[in-house]
């Protein structure tokens, strides 16, 4: 079975550019989570969806960040405009139920110059 | 408020030694879930174990074992006869559905384990 798929795996961009990260959850999983990992703050939740509906976006840093889930098999995390402090590894995870195990994608390593 | 503390930032052992990674958590709720994940140098997060708060039975999986003690709010992870391939960062995480963070995983800062030949 395919796991969580994320693209791109690496992204280098310049400050001010728009960045779009993509995620395909495991088929049949109703919950999708976006996390960010930095040296300073560790792993932290940005937003999560249930059945394509955003449930908790309290972790989204600011208005420059937005996330969508147009269907059960696809989600995007967009940063516009990007800033150097957005440099981090962004993980997508999915689970079959809210309290079940979250399986993580390989992550997208973002570097904003 | 809930919190996960992994007091050991880095541990270095020689191959074949046993090593225990500590995890202490805080929560006011009686229903919660605890997890361990492994992050090898390649960067992915690999699920190791999930345990709910009502199941205090210890678990063994090959060289891995976990000791869950509600009395001390700890969920420690032991690797027996460590191998070089065990070198990674290990994260303990807490999910507390009744808290403000809902079903999000609250991660500890991680313990970096280095196993040398």
- pLDDT 10s digits, A49-90: 999 999 989 899 889 999 999 999 999 999 999 999 999 999
Give the tokens for residue B3.
């919190």
Count Cα atoms within 13 angstroms, Cβ side, for B106.
22
Q: How far is CA A78 from CA A20, A99, B50, in A?
A: 4, 27, 31
Cβ of residue A104 closer than 8 Å to a chain B Cβ:
yes
Helix (H) or strand (E) holding B77: strand B74-79
Q: Do A55 and B102 touch (CB under 8 A)?
A: yes
pLDDT score of A107? 98
pLDDT score of A21? 98
Per the CB < 8 A criterion, the answer to whether A94 and A102 are in contact is: yes
Per the CB < 8 A criterion, the answer to whether A67 and A53 are in contact is: no
Closest Cβ opposite residue B97 in set A33, A99, A102 = A99
For every residue of B3-52, DSSP letters joined together read EEE---SEEEEETT--EEE--EEE-S-S--EEEEEEE-TT---EEEEEEE
pLDDT score of A93? 97
Q: How far is CA A77 from CA A54, B49, B102, in A?
A: 12, 28, 20
> Which residue in chain A is spatially nearest to B89 when comparing CA positions?
A42
Give pLDDT tens digits along chain B (117 positions): 559 999 999 999 999 999 999 999 999 889 999 999 999 999 999 999 999 999 888 889 999 999 999 999 999 999 999 999 999 999 999 998 888 777 889 999 999 999 999
pLDDT score of B2? 59
Percent of chain A with pLDDT over 70: 99
Q: Is the pLDDT of residue A1 over 70?
A: no
Closest CA to A84 of A110, A113, A63, A107: A113
A89: closest CA of chain B, how far (Å): 9
């Amino acid at each position: 079975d395919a796991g969580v798929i994320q693209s791109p795996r690496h992204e280098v961009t310049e400050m001010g550019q728009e960045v779009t990260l993509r995620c395909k959850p495991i088929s049949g999983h109703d919950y999708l989570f976006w996390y960010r990992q930095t040296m300073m703050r560790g792993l932290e939740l940005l937003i999560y969806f249930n059945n394509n509906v955003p449930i908790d976006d309290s972790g989204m840093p600011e208005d420059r960040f937005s996330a969508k889930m147009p269907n059960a098999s696809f989600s995007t995390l967009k940063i516009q405009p990007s800033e150097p402090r957005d440099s981090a590894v962004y993980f997508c995870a999915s689970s079959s139920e809210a309290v079940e195990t979250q399986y993580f994608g390989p992550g997208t390593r973002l570097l904003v110059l | 408020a809930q919190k996960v503390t992994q007091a050991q930032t880095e541990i270095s052992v020689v191959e074949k030694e046993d090593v225990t990674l500590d995890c202490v958590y805080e929560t006011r709720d009686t229903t919660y879930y605890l997890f361990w994940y492994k992050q090898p140098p390649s960067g992915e997060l690999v699920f190791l174990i999930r345990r709910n708060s009502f199941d205090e039975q210890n678990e063994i999986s090959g060289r891995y074992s976990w000791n869950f003690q509600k009395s001390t709010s700890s969920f420690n992870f032991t690797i027996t006869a460590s191998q070089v391939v065990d070198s990674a960062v290990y994260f303990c995480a807490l999910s507390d559905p009744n808290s403000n963070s809902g079903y999000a995983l609250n991660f500890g800062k991680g313990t970096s384990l280095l196993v040398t030949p």
